[in-house]
Amino acid sequence: MPRLVMKFGGTSVATVERIHNVARHVKREIAAGYDVAVVVSAMSGKTNELVAWCKEAARLHDMREYDAVVASGEQVTSGLLAIALQAQGVAARSWQGWQTPVLTDASHGAARIMSIEPEGIIEGFGRKETAVVAGFQGIHKPSGRITTLGRGGSDTSAVALAAAIGAERCDIYTDVDGVYTTDPRVVSKARRMDRIAFEEMLEMASLGAKVMQVRSVELALKHDMPTYVRSSFDDPDDPRPGTLICREEDIMESQVVTGVAFSRDEAQITLRRVIDKPGVAASVFMPLAEAGINVDMIVQTISDDSMTDMTFTVAASDFDRARALLEKAKGEIGFAALAGAKDVAKVSVVGVGMRSHAGVAAKGFRALAEKGVNIRAISTSEIKFSVLIDAAYTELAVRTLHTLYGLDGED
Amino acid sequence: MPRLVMKFGGTSVATVERIHNVARHVKREIAAGYDVAVVVSAMSGKTNELVAWCKEAARLHDMREYDAVVASGEQVTSGLLAIALQAQGVAARSWQGWQTPVLTDASHGAARIMSIEPEGIIEGFGRKETAVVAGFQGIHKPSGRITTLGRGGSDTSAVALAAAIGAERCDIYTDVDGVYTTDPRVVSKARRMDRIAFEEMLEMASLGAKVMQVRSVELALKHDMPTYVRSSFDDPDDPRPGTLICREEDIMESQVVTGVAFSRDEAQITLRRVIDKPGVAASVFMPLAEAGINVDMIVQTISDDSMTDMTFTVAASDFDRARALLEKAKGEIGFAALAGAKDVAKVSVVGVGMRSHAGVAAKGFRALAEKGVNIRAISTSEIKFSVLIDAAYTELAVRTLHTLYGLDGED
């Protein structure tokens, strides 16, 4: 029998009633002839509650204990869904991370899956038993301690499990019905895509489209696992197909531009009059890297005689820490002043077609200029370009680019 | 170093603030020179919430899944207490039932502890690491599934762990400061006992005194484990001693009567005009036993020529099921009518001194009769007697007996 992994996020399992609805989705796929492994998140809000308790217990807490506490959320959902499935006549059992087992490294709170040993689950399939796997968690075998994969880790659990059991595909059920050309709350003409290439989805996820977590898309790409994003709120007997994330080759008519992503969680830091000597970039970025702060867009301009201005962005949540670290290293780096801005946004245009079409970005810059949107920084890759702009212009820029590249659907 | 087990119930760990208070109690005992293993319950109310979800998912639910869901409550508390202890400078780690491991049989929802393998915890003591053990749970090794011990199971976890690690004693912290001669909410002159014999405590617990769970007292008796009942709400730096449950020989001046217990969770069933033939008792009680319904007090009276009336009690929660089962078997048993009453209570007088003092019960029956309390049924054992009375007379009967046997303290 072909195998299928179905993953349901927190809002899809927020109540026992919704868990019963999830069971109906699972039942449909079993009737369609699949052996199914379901991956579940914690009930909506539960993870936040557990994290808040850990923080209340101690600001700096042992991440091994944090993992033991937080992993309990998915444990609850996996048991409840197994019960709901049984009540609907489907043989099922729950699998905790340590039971499957899902083997991870020891990076508690942000562990990486090393391997999954799916023999127990596959034996269950032989007995027509559906597996309900607690997402987001695993075990570090040498220490025997529970680990969690970090926020959004349930998507990663699902894709990794799909690869481990040789699933035909992986269905990520969420509270939206697919991947859109941009956020429909900002652009009413945003369209749901039928298909999107792994590489495009990876950029969209990295750039602020929150529908799937970056690591899980990377994993789907690595294992060439066709992955659907679809809605758990559809009628279980007549659901819509959602968006298929697949290989570029499997998309018949690819467009030059696939989507427009944006993120307001950015902050800009500019170091004025940095002495432009060899190794200065390292002296700026090493302390940030050591503190786990990711630097994104970097622009360097010559201000005058052997002096340079350096502008770069960090996540807004890292802004205060980054600023403090740099001020501390001011003497060592050698700069005149630090200017920061949190009211900035990054808008990105993504499409594999950019590889073969020249001038896509230039066209975008011109359109933004015509609307009076000032570009503070630019970064590009093979299949996307991003601009940093004043946050107040976010919606205007997104709408302008969405229309420019022919993405608008019906209003 | 001597070893100590400290157990904290749900109200003692109801909030993170209270968990920090628990950590202070633990810290005091470590400072006093003990290696400590702490056993924790779920935060107050959490187990009820988890049980309610299981019931909502399916009225008849797979108890293996129920256990996976419900055991998560203690998992959370164990992690949080480990974090709180670390924050107070105490090295600590959490141990889930499957980690220790606490090995149980496969009776999911009401599993029995087969053995505990405490090597990991004892190795931790060697590193000055306090163990925080999730109570109420274990693992059925052959299946690898999580088990729970049933309600009140955390007390059993604590006493079993104390025996397994060879603890000097086991301290059960709760929301009362010890064991009382009777419920202080009913008799204001109830006194806290300094000591009570295992056998007496066993009767008190069986008869409705809710301070400790019966199985845990049985286990303390079996392993001769001195067990304190004391309050977690006392000042951690200056706590009261509580009540010591210990061997009869370790109580200097034992009284004839130690305490008066009562239970309103009783129901009376009377079968009228049962044909008094051999095997009739079996035909009445076998179907109840098979349905897991415990029968308590049994009274049989000859009504007339080869006919008998049979009266017995069951737990109030089993009343409807028992009645339905008996009505179904009416033809087979052969009785004229079934009469039931739920407005009854059982009042019991306990004391090891009854073994050597005659007439203790008779004195009690007379005192109740003088107050106009009608006795519906009587049962006795070596160290207690119980009477079944109209529920309305419960407080009067308890107060009368409490005074009669010289248990009254200061008001």
Considering A128, A159, A175, which residue would you say is the last residue of a domain? A175
CA geometry: angle B75, A56, A293, nearest 5 deg: 100
Contact at CB, A75 and B68, closer than 8 angstroms: yes
Give me the DSSP letters along A224-290: T--EEEEETTS-TTS----EEEE-GGG-SS--S--EEEEEEEEEEEEEEEEE--TTHHHHHHHHHHH
Q: Let me know if residue A75 belongs to a domain.
A: yes
Lowest-confidence range among A54-68, A133-147, B228-242, B279-293? B279-293
Task: State whether A94 and B68 contact (CB < 8 Å).
Answer: yes
Cβ neighbours, 10 Å, residue B254: 16
- Per-residue pLDDT tens digits for B7-66: 999 999 999 999 999 999 999 999 999 999 999 999 999 999 999 999 999 999 999 999
Contacts of B58 in chain A (CB under 8 A): 83-84, 86-87
Q: How much of chain B, in percent, has pLDDT values that exceed 90? A: 76
DSSP-based three-state secondary structure for B130: strand
Question: Do A164 and A289 share a structural domain?
Answer: no
* Domain co-membership, B16 together with B151: yes
Q: What residues of A form the annotated binding site? A: 7-10, 47, 74, 174-175, 180, 185, 210-211
Q: What is the pLDDT of residue B71?
A: 97
The end-to-end CA distance of chain A, in Å, is 42
Q: Enter the tokens of residue B41.
A: 């319950």
CB contact under 8 A, A61 and B86: yes
- Residue whose C-alpha is closest to residue A103's, from A121, A116, A85: A116
Q: SS3 of A208, please? A: coil
pLDDT exceeds 70 at position B231: yes
CA separation, residue B309 to residues A34, B274, B280, B298 (Å): 61, 6, 12, 11
> Structurally, how many domains does chain A consist of?
2
* In a domain? residue A279: yes
Give the model's pLDDT for residue B303: 65
Low-confidence residues in chain A, pLDDT < 70: 208, 254, 303-304, 411
| Residue spans of alpha helices (H) in B305-408 | 319-328, 330-333, 360-370, 394-404
Domain that holds residue B14: 3-175
> Smallest Cβ distance to B58: which of A84, A99, A146?
A84
Residues A273 and A397 in one domain: yes
CA distances from A372 to A2, A360, A366, B189, B254 (A): 54, 19, 10, 84, 94
Query: Which CATH number covers residue A139?
Result: 3.40.1160.10
Q: Is residue B309 part of a domain?
A: yes
Kindly state whether residue B344 falls inside one of the protein's structural domains.
yes
A84 is a domain residue:
yes
Query: How many whole angstroms separate alpha carbon B121 and alpha carbon B125?
Result: 6
Q: Are residues B17 and B163 in the same domain?
A: yes
Give one DSSP letter per residue of B227-273, joined into a string.
Answer: EEEEETTS-TTS----EEEE-GGG-SS--S--EEEEEEEEEEEEEEE
pLDDT digits over B317-347, tens only? 999 999 999 999 998 888 999 999 999 999 9
B22: nearest CA in chain A? A57
What phi, psi does A138 have (nearest 5°)?
-160, -165
Cβ B374 vs Cβ B362: under 8 Å: no
The torsion region of residue A334 among left (phi > 0), alpha (psi -120 to 50) and beta comes to left
Domain finish residue from A157, A175, A193: A175
Instruction: Name the token pair of A377.
Output: 């920084």
The answer on A274 and A139 residing in a single domain is no
- ipTM, two decimals, is 0.84
φ and ψ at residue B98, rounded to 5 degrees: -80, -15
Q: Which residue of A has its CA nearest to B62?
A: A83
Which residue, among A380, A368, A376, A372, has the nearest Cα to A405 in the 3D structure? A368
Question: A174 has which bridge partners?
Answer: A231
Task: Look at residue A241 and tell me if it is in a domain.
Answer: no
A-chain residues near B139 (CB < 8 A): none
Beta bridge partners of A246: A197
Residues A27, A130, single domain; the answer is yes
Q: Does A364 reside within a domain?
A: yes
Nearest CB partner across the interface for B65, out of A58, A94, A145: A94
Which chain A residues touch B50 with a CB distance below 8 Å? Answer: 76
Same domain, B162 and B287: no
Assess whether B271 and B146 both reside in one domain: no
A93 contacts in B (CB within 8 Å)? 62, 64-65
Residues of A in contact with B75 (CB under 8 A): 68-69, 71-72, 75
Please tell me the predicted confidence (pLDDT) of residue B411: 65
The residue among B243, B250, B238, B213 whose CA lies nearest residue B227 is B243
**What CATH number has the domain bearing residue A351?**
3.30.2130.10
Judge whether A320 lies within some domain.
yes
Considering the domain architecture, whether residues A152 and A264 belong to the same structural domain is answered as no
End-of-domain residue from the set B155, B175, B195? B175
- Which residue matches tokens 């001046």? B253
